[in-house]
Chains A and B, each alone.
Chain A
Amino acid sequence: MGAIHGLLARLTGDFGATLVLGAGLILGFLTFNVLFLIWLERKVSAHAQRRLGPMEVGFHGSLQTIADMLKLLSKQLVTPLATDHFTFLFAPILIFIPTICLTSLVPLGNAQAFAEMPNGLAVVVVLSGVTVIAIFMAGWSSNNKYAVLGGMRSVAQVVAYEIPVLLSALSVVLIAQSLNLHQIVAGQHVPYVLYEPVAALIFFVGITAETNRAPFDIPEAESELVGGFHTEYTGMRFALFFFAEYTNMLVLGAVGATLFLGGWKGPWVGSLPWLGPLYVLLKAYLVVFMMMWARWTFPRLRFDQLMNFAWKLLIPVALVNLLVTAVVLQALPRP
C-alpha cells in the first residue's frame, strides 16, 4: 500500500495520491460489497422462505449478481421524452456522492479513517439526509405520477426519521462527550448498546427507514407505486439506485456499529491492528443482516402509520431517553 502511495505521490503529489488511492479503495470495495449484499439478500430471503435461492452461477450462486449486473449493463438506457433531462440523468449519480463521503468517515482502526473530521458525527447526520434530494430529483424529473408519489413519500419519510436517528445518536454523544467518531469509539470500553439499548433500537429503526427498507419501503412500494421513484429508470441507471440502497445499508450499518457496537474494537485488536477494519465490517454486516431479516418478515406500513410511528412514538421516546441519559450523567460522579 505504501509503495503504491509513493508511486502515485510522484505523479500527483501527496494529497492527490491519498485522494486517488482512497477513492479507488472505497469505490472498489463498495462495488464488491453491493454484489455481495444482493447475493446475501437473495440467500436470506430464500432461507426465510424455505427456498435455496440462486444456486446455478458459481458456488451457491455467488456469481449470480455479476451475471445480473452484466445483463443490466447491456440494457438500453431509455430516457422518456417528457422528463427533465438534466435532473433525470443526474439523480442516479448524485445519490452515490453522499454515500461515498460517508464511507470515508467511518473509523476503521485506532488511527484509520479515510477522512478525519473533528465533528464527524454531525457530518454523518447531514450527509445521510442528502440522499433524499437525489431520490426526490429522480421522482420529480421522471414526470410520472407513481414516481412523484414515491419521491414525495420519500422526502416526508426521511425528514421524519432523521430526527429520531439524530436524537438517539445524541444520547451516545452525551456519554462520549464528543462528536468525533474516533473518540466515540475510544470511549467504548463496553459497547454503548448496553448503556443505551433504547437509543440503539431507535437508531436501527431510523436507519432502516432512511435506507427505504421494508417495512418502511413505501417510496418504492412495488405493490402500490409499481417502482416508486425509479419507475422510469432502466438498465444501469436503475442499477445505480439499487447500488445506492445497498451501499447505504452497509454505511449506515457501519455508523451504527461505530456508535453502539464498539466500532473497530474487539478481541486482540491491540496486537493485530488489521483486525480493526474487519471488526467494523463484521458488525456492520450484522446490522445489515438484521435489516434483511426484518424485511422478509414484516408487511409494509401505510404512509400515515409510518408518520405516526415516527412523530408520536419514536421521537417522544428518543427525547425521554435523551433526557434520562442527561440526568443520569449529571447525577453520576465524573470519572
Chain B
Amino acid sequence: MTTPPSPDALDTYTLNMGPQHPSTHGVLRMKLTLRGEEIVVAEPVIGYSHRAHEKMAENRTYAQFLPNTSRQDYLSGMIYNFAWVEAVEKMAGIAVPERALVARVILAEFNRIASHLLWIGAFLLDLGAATPFLYAWDDREAILFLLESVTGSRLTYCTGRFGGLSKDLDADFPHRAREVMGKLKARWQEYVRLIEDNVIFVNRTKGVGVMSRDVCLSYGVTGPTLRGSGVPYDVRKAEPYGAYARFAFDVPTRGEGDVFARYMVRTLEMQQSVRIIEQALEQLPDGPILNPDSIGVKKRLKLPVGTQYYAVESARGHYGILIVSEGGTEPYRAKFRTPSYPNLAVLAEVMPGHMVADAVAVLGSVDLVLPEVDR
C-alpha cells in the first residue's frame, strides 16, 4: 500500500466522495486524498446503511427471516433468498422436489441476468453515457415482468420455502421465458455495437483499475471481479449446489484484471446464464413444487444442534451463510459472508495513482451493493 502523505502536506487535499454522491451507488463514502486530480490515498468508509441483519436473524424464526434475505442484496435478491432456504433445508434435512430444484435455478439465473444488466447500465452511466442505461433498464424490465408473474414481486423476492417454492411455474412460463431470452440475445448484438466497439469506452476501461490475481486472492475478492483477474472460481462449479451440477456451462475468465475485463466477464456470464436456463427449461420435470411433508411457514421449524456453512454464487460473488443452531426455533448466530465487502476493501489498494474519473469507473466496475456491504 502507498504510504499516506503527512497531514501537513500542502500539495494534497481531501475530497469526500459521498455518502451523497451520484455515483457511489447508495451510501458509500470514499475519502480521497488528491494531488490535483490524482488519487494519493483512497479510503472507503462504510456503515451508512447498516441494518443489523445478522442480529435480526437471531431474534426471528427461520421462516420469519425469509423476507430479510432478499433485502441484503436487493439486485439479486432471489439468489440470497434461495441461499437461506437451501442452508436451512440442508441443516434440517428437508427433501426438495425435483421441479422446485430446477425452477430455483431458472429463477436465480434470470435474477443474475437482471442484476448484470442493471450493472451495465449503471456502469455506463458512471462513464457518462446515459443511453445504454435505459437500454439495459428496458431489457431488465422484461425479466422483472417474468419474475413478477411467478413470484408476485419485482425486486425483493420472497418466493423460497423450506422444501420448495411458494408458487409453481405456470404452463405458459417456458414460452414466455424463451421469448425474453430471444429478445435479450438480439439486444446483445446492439450492446456490442454501442458499448464494446466504442473507442471512448475502450479507452476509458482498458488498463484502468488493474487488480492482479494475487491482490484479489489476498483480499478475498470473488465473483466477476475475481474472474476478470484470471481466477476461474465460481461456486456453481467449485462446489455445485442445488441442481447446478446437471447443467453444462462455462466460467468465463479474462486475464487482464482491468475494468474492461470485468465488463467482458459479466457480459459473457449473462450468455452462460441463458445457456443454463435453456437447459433447465428442457429438463423441467413435472410434479409438486413444494414438499408436502415440509414444515410450512406458520409452523415452527427447529433445527438440530450444529453449525452449517452454505455458499452460493450470487451476481457479485461468493455469498456464504453460517448458521449456528442450539436446537431452538431461532438461530443462535447467523453470519453472512457478503461478496461486496472484500470487493470494496480491495479498492483502497487499487485506486491510488488513478484520476478522479477513473475512481468512478473502478468503483462502478466491481458492482457494489452498499446495503449488502453493511448488512
Specify which chain B residues have a CB less than 8 angstroms from the CB of A133 in the assembled complex.
none
B residues near A298, Cβ cutoff 8 Å: 128-129, 198, 200
Question: Which residues of chain B come closer than 8 Å to A51, judged between CB atoms?
Answer: 134
A229 to nearest B CB, angstroms?
15
Q: Determine whether the beta carbon of B126 is less than 8 Å from that of A303.
A: no
Residues of B within 8 A of A305 (CB): 203-204
Contact A217 to B128, CB < 8 A, known contacts A49-B135, A224-B360: yes
Given A215-B200, A298-B198, A299-B201, A223 contacting B128 (CB threshold 8 A) = yes
Please name all residues of chain B whose beta carbon is closer than 8 Å to the beta carbon of A146 when the two chains form the complex. Answer: 15
Once bound together, how far apart are the Cα atoms of A221 and B358, in whole Å? 12
Chain A nearest CB from B29 CB (Å) reads 14
Q: Is B322's CB within 8 Å of the partner chain A?
A: no
Q: Is A218 an interface residue (CB 8 A)?
A: yes
For A43-65 the 0/1 string (1 means CB < 8 A from B) is 00100111100000000000000
How far in angstroms is the closest Cβ of chain B from A69?
22
Does any Cβ of A come within 8 Å of B146's Cβ?
A: no
Tell whether, in the assembled complex, residue B15 and residue A299 are in contact, meaning their CB atoms are under 8 Å apart.
Answer: no
Q: Verify if B13 is at the interface (C-beta below 8 Å from A).
A: yes
Given contacts A218-B357, A302-B357, A226 and B127 within 8 Å (CB-CB)? no
Cβ B22 vs Cβ A296 within 8 A: no
Q: Which residues of A contact B135 (CB under 8 A)?
A: 49-50
Contact B134 A214 (CB under 8 A): no
Which of A48, A226, A302 is close to B358, meaning CB atoms less than 8 Å apart?
A: A302
In the complex, A299 Cα to B360 Cα: how many Å? 13
Best-surrounded residue of B37, B128, B360 (most CB of chain A within 10 A) = B128
Contact with A along B351-370 (1 / 0, CB 8 A): 00001111110000000000
Closest to A50 in B: B138
Do residues B22 and A222 form an inter-chain contact, with CB atoms below 8 A? Answer: yes
Mostly helix, strand, loop or mixed at chain B's interface?
Answer: helix
Q: Is A149 an interface residue (CB 8 A)?
A: yes
Q: A145-B15, A222-B22 are in contact. Are A302 and B134 (CB under 8 A)?
A: no
CA distance A222 to B133 in the complex (A): 15
Q: Write the B85-129 contact mask toward A (1 if CB under 8 angstroms, else 0).
A: 000000000000000000000000000000000000000111111
Interface size class on chain B is: 20 to 34
Residues 14-52 of chain A, each 1 if its beta carbon lies under 8 Å from chain B, else 0? 000000000000000000000000000000010011110
Size of chain A's interface in residues, with CB distance under 8 A?
Answer: 28
Give A334 to B35 CA distance when docked, in angstroms.
Answer: 56
Out of B22, B37, B131, B204, name the residue touching A49 (CB < 8 Å): B131
Instruction: Assess the A301–B130 pair: CB atoms within 8 A.
Output: no
**Contact of A297 with B131 at beta-carbon distance under 8 Å, contacts A215-B200, A223-B126 already known:** yes
CB of B356 within 8 A of CB of A304, answer no
Q: Assuming the A-B contacts A215-B200, A224-B23, are A49 and B357 also in contact, with contact meaning beta carbons closer than 8 angstroms in the complex? A: no
Contacts of A149 in B (CB 8 A): 15, 37, 356
Question: B199 to chain A: closest CB distance in Å?
Answer: 9
Please determine whether B131 and A224 come into contact, CB atoms closer than 8 angstroms. no
Q: Determine whether the beta carbon of A223 is less than 8 Å from that of B203.
A: no
Whether B355 contacts A304 by the Cβ 8 Å rule is yes
| Interface assignment of B21: CB less than 8 Å from any CB of chain A | yes
What does the 1/0 interface line of B201-232 toward A look like (CB < 8 Å)?
10110000000000000000000000000000
A329 CB → nearest B CB, Å: 33
Q: Find residues 218-258 in chain A having any chain B CB closer than 8 Å to their own CB.
A: 218, 221-226
Q: How far is the CB of A29 from chain B (nearest CB, A)?
A: 29
27 contacts between A and B (CB under 8 A): A49-B130, A49-B134, A49-B135, A146-B15, A214-B128, A215-B128, A217-B128, A218-B357, A223-B125, A223-B126, A224-B356, A224-B360, A225-B356, A226-B22, A296-B130, A299-B128, A299-B201, A300-B128, A300-B129, A300-B200, A300-B357, A301-B203, A302-B204, A303-B355, A303-B357, A305-B203, A305-B204
Among all A-B residue pairs, the 7 with the closest Cβ atoms: A300-B128, A299-B129, A49-B134, A299-B127, A223-B23, A302-B357, A223-B126
Contacts A49-B131, A300-B129 known; 18 new A-B pairs at CB < 8 A:
A48-B131, A149-B15, A215-B128, A218-B357, A223-B126, A224-B23, A224-B356, A224-B357, A297-B129, A297-B131, A299-B128, A299-B198, A299-B204, A300-B128, A301-B204, A303-B355, A304-B355, A305-B203
